[in-house]
Amino acid sequence: MIRAVLLDMDGTITEPYIDWKGLRDEIGVPEGVPIMEYINGLPEGRREEALRALEAWEEEAARNAPLAEGAGELLKELRTMGVRTALVTNSSRICVEIVLERLRFRPDAVLSREDGRIKPAPDLVKKAVAALGARPEETLMVGDGIYDLEAARAAGVRFLLLRRLGYRLEHELSVGSLSEVLRLIIISEK
Ligand SMILES: [Mg+2]
């Protein structure tokens, strides 16, 4: 029984938009190093500069990335079904607010990078589960990236992959669009 659904934001609630290669090149993040890990390791001054650059990319995406097909409908339908929802993102609170404003929906909980160690660490996922009063085994995390998968796994939460063009990630449970998520949840209850 699924009682709670956690959703990633960038590339899940919104269509993939950020040119991650361009962003990494601008900040100078070496290949294979997570962006925030690199930024946090920079000396003071350079760290703030890199963070501002990252925030500019993120805010631009928050304002302009098309909302994913079926995102609003899914969230509203889950609420009607009594399934609690949370947004779990490595992005900032500011960007979350921009996207939620556009979406015209407020999930029951919102966890952003200000709230703890970011994905792939399980912290934000665990906090979301706790905030929703759910148990990990009754919770489904929906995301498009490897960090979502790893964070969900480490938190003991089931994971559903939203397949995105050009991502080579594979997972036994996956959908091609958010419109399919509801059907999958309903089927799993039977
Ligand atoms: Mg994502």
Q: What is the mean pLDDT of residues 156-172?
A: 92
55 lies in the same domain as 142: no
User: Over the Cα atoms of the chain, what is R_g?
Assistant: 16
Long-range CB contacts (within 8 A, 24+) of 101-104: 102/63, 102/67, 103/13, 103/67, 103/71, 103/72, 103/75, 104/72
Q: Distance from the CA of 186 to the center of ligand 1, in angstroms?
A: 24
How confident is the model at residue 189, as a pLDDT? 73
Checking if the pLDDT of 116 tops 80, the result is: yes
How confident is the model at residue 166, as a pLDDT? 81
Q: Distance from the CA of 47 to the center of ligand 1, in angstroms?
A: 23
How confident is the model at residue 167, as a pLDDT? 80
Neighbour order of strands in the sheet with 109-111: 109-111, 84-88, 4-7, 139-143, 158-162, 174-175
How confident is the model at residue 81, as a pLDDT? 94
Amino acid letter, 126: K
Per-chain mean pLDDT for the chain: 95
Q: Distance from the CA of 184 to the center of ligand 1, in angstroms?
A: 20
Closest alpha carbon to 178 in 147, 139, 129, 143: 143
Checking if the pLDDT of 190 tops 90, the result is: no
How confident is the model at residue 41, as a pLDDT? 97
The residues whose Cβ lies within 5 A of ligand 1, an ion, are 8, 10-11, 144-145
Q: What residues have CB less than 8 Å from 28, skipping those under 6 apart?
A: 50
190: which 2 tokens?
Answer: 């039977």
| 8 A C-beta contact, residue 1 and residue 189 | yes
Q: Distance from the CA of 9 to the center of ligand 1, in angstroms?
A: 6
Q: What is the mean pLDDT of residues 166-179?
A: 90
120 lies in the same domain as 40: no
Checking if the pLDDT of 188 tops 80, the result is: no
Q: Distance from the CA of 162 to the center of ligand 1, in angstroms?
A: 9
- pTM (predicted TM-score): 0.94
Q: Distance from the CA of 15 to the center of ligand 1, in angstroms?
A: 9
Percentage of the chain surpassing pLDDT 70? 99
Amino acid letter, 47: R
123 lies in the same domain as 90: yes
CA dihedral 141, 142, 148, 150 (to 10 degrees): 50
132 lies in the same domain as 83: yes
Using CB atoms within 10 Å of the CB of residue 161, give its burial: 0 to 12 exposed, 13 to 18 middle, 19+ buried: buried
pLDDT tens-digit readout, 90-99:
999 999 999 9
71 lies in the same domain as 60: no
Cis status, amide bond into 107, omega within 30 of 0: no
Residue 16 C-alpha from the chain's centroid: 11
55 lies in the same domain as 101: no
pLDDT tens-digit readout, 122-157:
999 999 999 999 999 999 999 999 999 999 999 999
Using CB atoms within 10 Å of the CB of residue 55, give its burial: 0 to 12 exposed, 13 to 18 middle, 19+ buried: middle
136 lies in the same domain as 81: yes
Range of the domain at 35: 20-64
Q: Distance from the CA of 11 to the center of ligand 1, in angstroms?
A: 4
Q: Distance from the CA of 146 to the center of ligand 1, in angstroms?
A: 9
Checking if the pLDDT of 47 tops 90, the result is: yes
- CATH number of the domain that 143 lies in? 3.40.50.1000
pLDDT tens-digit readout, 2-36:
999 999 999 999 999 999 999 999 999 999 999 99
36 lies in the same domain as 90: no
**What's the total number of domains in the chain?**
2
How confident is the model at residue 1, as a pLDDT? 87
39 lies in the same domain as 99: no
Looking at residue 145, what DSSP letter applies? S
10 lies in the same domain as 70: yes
Q: Distance from the CA of 10 to the center of ligand 1, in angstroms?
A: 4
Percentage of the chain surpassing pLDDT 90? 92
162 lies in the same domain as 175: yes
Q: What is the mean pLDDT of residues 72-81?
A: 96
